[in-house]
Amino acid sequence: MKRGLFALPIPGVVLLAYNVVVLLGSDPVGALSAVVFRASLTSGAAFTLTAGELLILLGVVALFIEVVKATRSSMASAIDHALSALVFAAYLVEFLLVKAAGTGVFLVLTIMSFLDLIAGFTVTLGTARRDLTIQS
User: Does residue 129 carry a pLDDT above 80?
Assistant: no
pLDDT grade, residue 1 (50/70/90)? very low
The answer, yes or no, to whether residue 26 has pLDDT greater than 80, is no
Residue 81 has what pLDDT?
84
The pLDDT of residue 131 is above 70: no
**C-alpha distance across the termini of the chain, in Å:** 34
Largest CA distance in the chain: 61
Write out 22-69 in H/E/C secondary structure: HHCCCCHHHHHCCEEEEEECCCCCEEEEEHHHHHHHHHHHHHHHHHHH
Nearest to 129, CA basis, from 87, 90, 73, 60: 73
Q: What are the boundaries of each domain within the chain? A: 2-135
59-100 pLDDT per residue, tens: 999 999 988 888 776 667 778 888 999 999 999 999 999 999
